[in-house]
Structure 1
Amino acid sequence: MTTFEAIPIPRISKGSAYITSGDGKAIPLGAEELRRAFDAIMHDDDSDLITTGEAAQILGVSSKTVARIRDAGEIPFTRYGAKGNRMVSRARVVAYRNQSEANGHKALEDMRVSASRGGLDDVDHAACLSHFN
């Protein structure tokens, strides 16, 4: 088993992978540790179920928004426990977040291209804003 030593975050080299320990320190990761960490995070293990509240924290949205996403079928869920609470796979929530971010980046790039083709990047923004003052 590998032993990891936490060091102050400012001592981490720029561009290096690390895991923060929550106390202002970090554990640097080599290429193999980073690969294993990604494998552990992305492994679609349905036994790693989380609540909608936990999914909301990962996605940066409210629990109600997660419920709407879940009920729309965008993130599969499992009924769990005596009360039948709906739980979701952590890996599927992370995959949904990554895909949503990728879609947002693509949409923004598409808008930039359209603005450039339409000549909108040559607009004098100060002059436009002066009409509203």
Structure 2
Amino acid sequence: MNAAARTKDAVVVDPPLDLSELLNLANFLEHHSAPAVLVGPDGEQIALPLEAYEVLCQVVTAMQRGESVSVEPIDRQLTTQQAASLLGISRSTLVRLLDENELPFDRLGESRHRRLRLHDVLAYRDRTRVDRRVRLDELTRQADEDGLYDVDGEAYRHALGEARKS
């Protein structure tokens, strides 16, 4: 029997303890690239829309890896704490980003409380990941051009310390 935990806004479902049925389903989905038909307990059949089929594939893949899953509407609104947790930053850092107009938000009436849309937070996360990757690639290229990969660790720490002093 699998465990389902209801948080304030979502249901999180753990993978089943016995993975045999899940593995059979994963194998079935691997060998079929088009949506299947959903059969009700009374035998009634209905075509599974492609979008629902794709979500099912993602859920089965995650559970097969032993991960818990939660499916939520993308329009969902988050508190500043929920958004900060999703981004892996502090709430105060998130508030600073909001004040700097890095992320759109809505206010609840006349209150100070702000809400962010999940899709905006996910888009920001993706943009920052791409930006970090570009910056890291550039730093790596510069370090390679400067021959820093050929320097031993102690000489590098010394040079870094000198650079920080200036």
TM-score, with structure 1 as normaliser? 0.63
Aligned-pair CA distance for 1:126: 4.8
Number of residues paired by the alignment?
111
CA RMSD of aligned residues (A): 3.8
Match of 1:58 among 56, 63, 86: 86
Q: Structure 1 residues 23 and 105 mapped into 2: Cα distance closer, same or farther (>3 Å)?
A: same
User: What is the percent sequence identity of the aligned residues?
Assistant: 28
**Code of the aligned partner of 1:125:** G
- 1:32 corresponds in structure 2 to 54
The more displaced of 26-35 and 89-98 is 26-35
- 1:108 corresponds in structure 2 to 136
The more displaced of 22-31 and 71-80 is 22-31
**Code of the aligned partner of 1:99:** R
- After superposition, the C-alpha distances for 1:12-40 in whole angstroms (9 at most, x for unaligned) are xxxxxxxx834786978757226888xx8
Alignment of 1:53-132 (within 5 A): 53-81=81-109, 83-126=111-154
Greater Rg over alpha carbons, structure: 2
Q: Structure 1 residues 58 and 24 mapped into 2: Cα distance closer, same or farther (>3 Å)?
A: farther
Unaligned runs of 5+ in 1: 7-19
Aligned-pair CA distance for 1:58: 0.4
Aligned-pair CA distance for 1:82: 5.8
Q: Check whether the contact 2:108–2:114 (CA below 8 A) recurs between aligned residues.
A: yes
**Code of the aligned partner of 1:101:** R
Unaligned runs of 5+ in 2: 3-11, 30-52, 60-70, 162-166
Distance (whole Å) between structure 1 residues aligned to residue 139 and residue 72 of structure 2: 32
**Code of the aligned partner of 1:21:** V
Residue 65 of structure 1 aligns to a residue whose secondary structure is: helix
Q: Check whether the contact 1:77–1:87 (CA below 8 A) recurs between aligned residues.
A: yes
Distance (whole Å) between structure 2 residues aligned to residue 41 and residue 95 of structure 1: 16
Distance (whole Å) between structure 2 residues aligned to residue 51 and residue 87 of structure 1: 5
Residue 83 of structure 2 aligns to a residue whose secondary structure is: helix
- 1:14 corresponds in structure 2 to none
Distance (whole Å) between structure 2 residues aligned to residue 87 and residue 96 of structure 1: 15
TM-score, with structure 2 as normaliser? 0.52
